[in-house]
Chain A
């Protein structure tokens, strides 16, 4: 059963327990992390790949990470690091963002206008906005994650939100995904 024991752990009860804990974390958090990264990438396949890779790395180090107070925070940090690295590998982020903003394939019922508007933000601004409004991290937590001063995160958030509202206003209802988004506050759609 070597493949079912985390590296560094001996098979047996502790290995089975570790596997059970990891499975529980994976099953409860995979979608959540993937959705956050989808908001960042605008590409579900990339988001899923990166999320799966982050969980692979977590399993490789599970004997350590399992003891953390919040293992999913580690997974999220790794996933975001991978996401940003992939993003940077694209020749120019601006060109990539522009192309993605037009070509992102709508997922049925999904706020594609929001995804496209996010894609137009600077990478740092987009990251801050998603982590704050989607993941619910405080500015201090984002600052710690990104390795920057909290004031910098506040600036990213402010600029990101301002730009996001402007970009959202550019999209007409006809451009949005088929499903109704009538539940979205008017302030977001038209401000």
Chain B
């Protein structure tokens, strides 16, 4: 891909913007820091009043309950429930706040069996909570998560490692609820760890798919994710706006061979990327993504065909390598019956034949020849370039 700094230089525009900035400066009214502090103070007071109101309401509720206690407990305990009552209302009354759950490992807290009392549990090392998300208390969402016979639930969970000075880790967990049995954790759906800029998380369950929306104070856009039960764990789906059309290529491991000066490395793709989050200020180390640079953000499936003439299909993955000089690559991989992914070989895309910012427009395979259509992003009138690639028995080579 052609990438010259000069393409982004425009002294005339820089000058125009500089003039705009200097001429506008005098029109800005600065409210001042006293106004900032007054606003923040008002908000803190309002939050405290709201919290106080909740305490008063809860206390009033407890008082009313004590004065007029119902004849039977409104929750269905594991030992007292009627096992034949497997209906929604009974499920919804399962006393999950006072249950023993095998909690999954969350950031800072190991997986462990936790005995909850009223939704809380604290031992020497960890404090666990149920029902509290980043914005306060949440009721569980009852839904069918595993398409089984019984209703399940999505619960908020949180934990804090008391030996580490770290903020709460918040998580959504899937829980099997059955009348007469202890609730049982299916697994971790998603977690949000230690980000002071986490603003809000909302979620809904639609057709057994858990859809979350996460907003942060300091970044765009709102993160939308989907999770579903695959029989043994909750897996994250490729979002609608991703380039990955097949969830199989959203979360997987791959040993990427050495190529073109880059060393071999073992890469785990999560959410289509091998990027490991760095500090808020820093730039990430070089990383890989799946999907390729696709004009218009269209989903592009991986090409599935016999690429090396062995009679079995391989998959041609589009990969981006994000580094100071980012590059688009194609990698042929073979998928075993067990689902393991093994690299066969790289295909170097020839971006030298046309100009401007280029991208792989289409890939097709015919009679063992891979046809790669390369187009110019910003100079559409330029003719496309077609690159023909074939397997020579040991590697992929471009037809001259």
Contacts and interface: CB of A to CB of B under 8 A. Distances in A.
A36 B24 CA distance: 10
A60 interface: yes
B35 interface: yes
Interface in A72-105: 73-74, 77-78, 80-81, 84
B76 to A, nearest CB: 41
A158 B357 contact: yes
B281 A107 contact: no
A44 B31 CA distance: 13
B41 interface: yes
Contacts of B38: 3
Most buried by B among A110, A140, A161, A181: A110
B16 A155 contact: no
Given A30-B28, A151-B1, A179-B23, A52 B196 contact: no
A74 B218 contact: yes
Contact of A48 (B12, B28, B219): B28
B36 A111 contact: no
A61 B44 CA distance: 12
A64 to B, nearest CB: 5
A46 B216 CA distance: 21
Contacts of A73: 281
Contacts of A13: none
Contacts of A81: 216-220
A139 B8 contact: yes
A28 to B, nearest CB: 11
A132 B39 contact: no
Given A3-B38, A30-B30, A70-B281, A151 B10 contact: no
A27 B17 contact: no
A31 B25 contact: yes
Contacts of A108: 27
A138 to B, nearest CB: 8
Contacts of B29: 48
B220 A80 contact: yes
Interface in B201-257: 216-221
A140 B20 CA distance: 24
A120 B323 CA distance: 33
Interface string B32-43: 110111111101
A81 B320 CA distance: 27
Interface string A147-191: 101110011011101001000000000000001010111011001
A78 B20 contact: no
A183 to B, nearest CB: 6
A60 B21 CA distance: 28
Interface residues of B, number: 55
Given A78-B218, A154-B7, A188-B13, A34 B36 contact: no
Given A30-B30, A74-B280, A147-B219, A2 B41 contact: yes
Contact of B8 (A7, A48, A144, A154): A154
Nearest to B38: A3
A146 interface: yes
B326 interface: yes
Contacts of B15: 183-185, 188
A158 B356 CA distance: 11
Contacts of B320: 149
Contacts of B64: none
A35 interface: yes
B386 interface: no
B132 interface: no
A59 B40 contact: yes
A31 to B, nearest CB: 5
B169 interface: no
A3 B42 CA distance: 9
Contacts of A36: 21
Given A59-B37, A146-B220, 14 more contacts: A35-B24, A35-B25, A39-B24, A44-B24, A47-B28, A52-B36, A60-B43, A61-B196, A68-B280, A81-B216, A110-B23, A111-B16, A151-B357, A164-B13
28 contacts: A2-B41, A3-B38, A4-B37, A22-B33, A26-B33, A27-B30, A31-B25, A35-B20, A35-B28, A36-B21, A48-B29, A52-B39, A80-B220, A81-B217, A84-B220, A107-B24, A111-B16, A114-B17, A115-B20, A133-B13, A133-B14, A133-B16, A133-B17, A146-B220, A150-B322, A151-B293, A159-B378, A185-B12
Interface of B: 1, 3, 7-8, 10-17, 19-21, 23-33, 35-41, 43-44, 196-197, 216-221, 280-281, 283, 289, 293, 320, 322, 326, 357, 359, 377-378
In the A-B complex, the 6 residue pairs with the smallest Cβ-Cβ separation, listed nearest first, are A3-B41, A187-B12, A188-B12, A185-B12, A134-B17, A133-B17
